[in-house]
């Protein structure tokens, strides 16, 4: 084999590796989990985007979860084509539960579904996503909440809960069945655990075509619950995502000794009445930051979220930052 041809093959090989693994990936609403020595990232996308990594720096794009749009979702949400939002990945009962959101943008014509898998390794003979369909659904003019942005946690009594919501009446909490694919409560009575409204009884603006103006003017969404020692921490995103250079997303947090709340900020104000301690906001480098998850790896805690990159036309990028804990409160370690 001629030396120049060998060099060409080597170049093509290295170039292929460089294209396969990326260190600067564009994602929205990321959540992360580790199986064995591999990290798996799930995010908003057609059929749900999936990435894998050995080091949380170089990422390989995997096959999406759904090759075709789930039929139940097509039937439930008019106009849905397969672009799925805000997944949450949770391991329990010996399998992985992947919760996901179906919605019409700016409306609470929405639903949350769930799929399960025994493994996240695509090379495993056990790898197969099984969709269990709808967990819950919201309806314009009927439910003053929005069924998107799910996150599931299990408390110290072995009871599992789903927190979810976006705009409208704020963030909601519902008890889950042990199978984790059905709710265990009447959806007409589930509480609001976080809102931007200081007066929970304040009316929403008048509706237009069955949907409140500006989705009720209650700009809070993307809840995530994390247990740390004696507290449950509720993370949420406020203001506006998805506007590129005009994005104003930021993250707030509160804590409670019970998963049911009340979640209070550093000043003792309830998140259900407009409270919430600022955790991170945009700056000269990032127009907005939000929709976070929290995960623990090798004894360290990490904040996983997306930010709108000021150096790249406001494109949404993956960010992973260490969390420190100071006097019982999370602090983003940007050093």
pLDDT digits (tens, 9 = 90+) for 63-74: 999 999 999 999
Of 9-18, 188-197, 255-264, minimum mean pLDDT range: 9-18
User: Which among 114, 332, 110 has a CA at the least distance from the CA of 221?
Assistant: 110
Say what the pLDDT of residue 215 is: 65
Catalytic hit among 88, 221, 265, 309: 221
Say what the pLDDT of residue 4 is: 45
pLDDT tier, 14 (very low <50, low <70, confident <90, very high otherwise): very low
Q: For residue 87, what are the contacts with CB-CB under 8 A and spacing of at least 6?
A: 29, 31, 42, 43, 44, 48, 65, 98, 99, 100, 101
pLDDT digits (tens, 9 = 90+) for 243-260: 888 888 999 999 999 999
Per the CB < 8 A criterion, the answer to whether 139 and 109 are in contact is: yes
What is the helix (H) or strand (E) element at residue 10, kind and residue range?
helix 3-20
pLDDT tier, 213 (very low <50, low <70, confident <90, very high otherwise): low
Tell me how crowded residue 212 is: count the other CB atoms within 10 A of its CB.
Answer: 23
Residue 294 has pLDDT above 60, yes or no: yes
Residue 6 has pLDDT above 50, yes or no: no
Question: What average pLDDT does the segment 301-318 reach?
Answer: 95
Per the CB < 8 A criterion, the answer to whether 189 and 202 are in contact is: no
45: left (phi over 0), alpha (psi -120 to 50) or beta: left
pLDDT digits (tens, 9 = 90+) for 98-143: 999 999 877 899 999 999 999 999 999 999 999 999 999 999 989 9
Handedness of CA 82, 318, 30, 315 (dihedral sign): negative
Say what the pLDDT of residue 316 is: 94
Which phi and psi angles does 224 have, rounded to 5°?
-145, 125
Question: What average pLDDT does the segment 31-58 reach?
Answer: 98
Say what the pLDDT of residue 209 is: 63
Question: What average pLDDT does the segment 170-176 reach?
Answer: 98
Say what the pLDDT of residue 203 is: 72
Say what the pLDDT of residue 7 is: 42
Across the chain, mean pLDDT equals 91
Q: Catalytic: 29?
A: yes
Residue 1 has pLDDT above 50, yes or no: no
Residue 194 has pLDDT above 70, yes or no: yes
Q: In what order do the strands lie in the sheet with 49-53?
A: 21-22, 59-62, 49-53, 38-43, 31-35
User: Which among 252, 246, 253 has a CA at the least distance from the CA of 316?
Assistant: 246
Q: Please give the structure tokens belonging to residue 168.
A: 């409208």
pLDDT tier, 21 (very low <50, low <70, confident <90, very high otherwise): confident
pLDDT tier, 206 (very low <50, low <70, confident <90, very high otherwise): low
Catalytic hit among 29, 88, 169, 309: 29
What percent of the chain is modeled with pLDDT above 70?
90
């Amino acid at each position: 084999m001629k030396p120049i041809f060998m060099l060409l093959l080597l170049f093509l090989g290295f170039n292929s590796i460089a294209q396969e693994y990326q260190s600067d990936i564009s994602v929205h609403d990321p959540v992360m989990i580790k199986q064995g020595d591999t990290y798996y990232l799930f995010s908003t996308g057609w059929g749900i985007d999936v990435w894998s990594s050995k080091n949380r720096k170089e990422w390989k794009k995997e096959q999406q979860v759904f090759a075709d749009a789930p039929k139940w979702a097509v039937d439930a949400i008019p106009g849905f084509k397969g672009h799925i939002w805000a997944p949450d990945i949770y391991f329990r009962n010996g399998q992985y539960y992947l919760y996901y959101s179906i919605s019409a943008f700016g409306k609470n014509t929405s639903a949350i579904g769930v799929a399960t898998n025994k493994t996240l390794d695509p090379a495993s003979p056990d790898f197969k996503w099984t969709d269990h369909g709808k967990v819950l659904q919201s309806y314009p003019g009927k439910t003053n909440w929005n069924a998107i942005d799910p996150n599931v946690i299990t408390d110290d009594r072995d009871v599992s809960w789903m927190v979810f919501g976006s705009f409208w009446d704020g963030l909601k909490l519902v008890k889950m069945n042990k199978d984790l694919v059905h709710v265990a409560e009447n959806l007409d009575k589930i509480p609001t655990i976080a809102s931007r409204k200081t007066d929970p009884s304040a009316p929403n603006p008048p509706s237009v075509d069955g949907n409140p103006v500006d989705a009720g003017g209650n700009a809070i969404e993307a809840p995530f619950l994390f247990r740390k020692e004696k507290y449950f921490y509720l993370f949420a995103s406020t203001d506006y995502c998805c506007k590129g250079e005009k994005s104003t997303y930021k993250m707030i947090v509160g804590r409670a000794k019970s998963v049911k709340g009340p979640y209070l900020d550093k000043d003792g104000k309830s998140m259900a009445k407009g409270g919430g301690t600022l955790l991170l906001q945009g700056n000269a480098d990032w127009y907005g930051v939000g929709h976070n998850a929290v995960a623990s790896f090798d004894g360290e805690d990490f904040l996983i979220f997306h930010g709108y990159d000021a150096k790249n036309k406001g494109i949404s990028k993956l960010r992973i930052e260490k969390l420190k804990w100071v006097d019982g409160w999370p602090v983003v370690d940007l050093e």
